[in-house]
Amino acid sequence: MEDKKYKSGFKVPENYFDSFEKRIFDTIESETLPKETGFKVPDGYFENLEDTILQKLTATDKPRKVIPLNSRKTWIYLTAIAACLAVIISMLIRDESIVKQLDLIKTATIENYIDEGYLDLESYEVLALLDDEDLTSINFESDIFSEESLENYLLENSIEETLLIE
Amino acid sequence: MTEEKSLVRALKSDTEKEVAFRILVSKYKERLYWQIRKIVFDHDDSDDVLQNTFIKVFRNINSFKEDSKLYTWMYRIATNEAITFINKKAKMAKITIEDVKNRAIDNLESDVYFEGDAIQIQLQRAIASLPQRQQLIFSMKYFEEHTFEELSKILDTSVGGLKSSYHIAVKKVTAYVKANEMSFNNK
């Protein structure tokens, strides 16, 4: 490299020759490998993506305009009160059939609430209005899927799957 | 650069944010998607991660320090989101990350959004057998043809280090594919 024959004023990048073999090798070796991954996307996927994402952003940024706040709050309190009453009464009344009826009423109220589409709350928002005592004795049949309960559900399920595989 | 600067300015403004963001998504959705897909394999999972990536970019744009290129910053977010996704999957199923990837590769054959041959599957398996970091370096250099300089900024590693890693990765991947040549009749 110090040969005077090549002192023509030309220069090479640093480490050019040192890394040359590596680079040539990499190119030749990798020619035996396919260049495409083989992955593809559904038709129209990229075209629709912008709208999908923008929708999600504006949905999380702005408050939901679905229902006037007032009637939502009323429903929250109604459900909470119904649940509380049901629990309290069921504790006072030992008669099984009455307790069962009240359970049904309580469940029906909640089911209506959900069916009417009012329940776009996290379950903890509803639960926050109840006392600890009520919480332990309440047995909701129709769960409201908060992120937390979904995660737990998945965790439980995954464990079962692993057991099956093993 | 000025084009980028004005886009960033618009993204950080309250009035132009949405319009600018639409431009951003349009410009980078494909590149980020493929970056994610190489890590996550499945289309639907990639879709989830991609959307989360853009949402994160949108929410954190004000903390983008502009000391790197916008796309370098976004690529980093996308890569981290994808890796986090895989880690989460592994944790929930109580298996290793390598197992998560191998299962995903197993599913490729019947995956409607995969049109590769056996050799492409072999290549994915070969890549998945590399150490995590090398997988990234190999995929990004080989499939997306980033320069080492670009990779150096995205992955925050020296160019020299990247070149060595890539060189080792090519050797390993080629050896793996050749060793398993009997299992496919692509040639």
Kindly list the distances between the CA atom of residue B156 and the CA atoms of A34, B73, B139, B160, in Å, as whole numbers in the listed order. Answer: 28, 11, 16, 12
| Average pLDDT value for residue range B20-25 | 92
Do the Cβ atoms of B43 and A54 come within 8 Å? no
The residue with greater pLDDT, A111 or A137, is A111
Please write the tens of the pLDDT for every residue from B26-61: 999 999 999 999 999 999 999 999 999 999 999 999
Report the distance separating Cα B42 and Cα B45, nearest Å.
Answer: 5
* pLDDT higher than 80, residue B10: yes
Indicate the CATH number for domain B116-187: 1.10.10.10
pLDDT of residue B157: 92
| Average pLDDT value for residue range A123-148 | 61
DSSP 3-state helix, strand, coil percentages of chain A (rounded to 5)? 65, 0, 35
The residue with greater pLDDT, A151 or B24, is B24
Please write the tens of the pLDDT for every residue from A38-83: 899 999 999 999 899 988 887 765 555 555 556 677 778 888 888 8
Taking contacts as CB-CB distances below 8 angstroms, the residues of chain A near B55 are: 53, 56-57, 60
Report the distance separating Cα B179 and Cα B181, nearest Å.
Answer: 6
Tell me which residues of chain B, numbers 65 to 84, contact chain A at a CB-CB cutoff of 8 Å: none
* pLDDT higher than 90, residue A155: no
Report the distance separating Cα A135 and Cα A127, nearest Å.
Answer: 7
Q: What is B1-94's CATH topology?
A: Rna Polymerase Sigma Factor; Chain: A (1.10.1740)
Report the distance separating Cα B64 and Cα B132, nearest Å.
Answer: 27
Tell me the domain boundaries of chain B: 1-94, 116-187
Do the Cβ atoms of A39 and B37 come within 8 Å? yes
* pLDDT higher than 60, residue B1: no
pLDDT of residue A166: 46
* pLDDT higher than 60, residue B11: yes
pLDDT class of B171 with cuts at 50, 70, 90 = very high
For the ranges A85-89, A105-109, B82-86, B113-117, the lowest mean pLDDT is seen at A105-109
pLDDT of residue B187: 44
Question: What integer best gives the mean pLDDT of chain B?
Answer: 90
Interacting residues of A164 by C-beta distance below 8 A, sequence separation 6+: none
Kindly report the CA angle at B36 between B35 and B38, in degrees rounded to 5?
75
The verdict on B103 touching A (C-beta cutoff 8 Å) is no
Please write the tens of the pLDDT for every residue from A18-49: 778 778 878 877 777 888 888 999 999 999 99
> Which among B25, B37, B120 has CB closest to A34?
B120
Taking contacts as CB-CB distances below 8 angstroms, the residues of chain B near A59 are: none
Kindly report the CA angle at B134 between B170 and B108, in degrees rounded to 5?
80
* pLDDT higher than 70, residue B177: yes
Kindly report the CA angle at B20 between B18 and B21, in degrees rounded to 5?
65
Do the Cβ atoms of B95 and A57 come within 8 Å? no
Report the distance separating Cα A109 and Cα A111, nearest Å.
Answer: 5
* pLDDT higher than 80, residue B136: yes
Question: What integer best gives the mean pLDDT of chain A?
Answer: 71
Kindly identify which residue of chain B lies nearest to residue A29, measuring between CA atoms: B174
Nearest by Cα to B46 from B35, B58, B61? B35
* pLDDT higher than 80, residue A6: no
The residue with greater pLDDT, A3 or B60, is B60
Radius of gyration of chain A (CA): 33
pLDDT class of B164 with cuts at 50, 70, 90 = very high
Mutate to test the interface with B, among A37, A56, A60, A147 (most CBs of B within 10 A): A37
Q: Which residues pair with A39 in a beta bridge?
A: B114
Report the distance separating Cα B36 and Cα B18, nearest Å.
Answer: 24
* pLDDT higher than 80, residue A120: no
3-state secondary structure of A140: coil
Tokens standing for residue A12: 């090479």
| Average pLDDT value for residue range B107-121 | 88
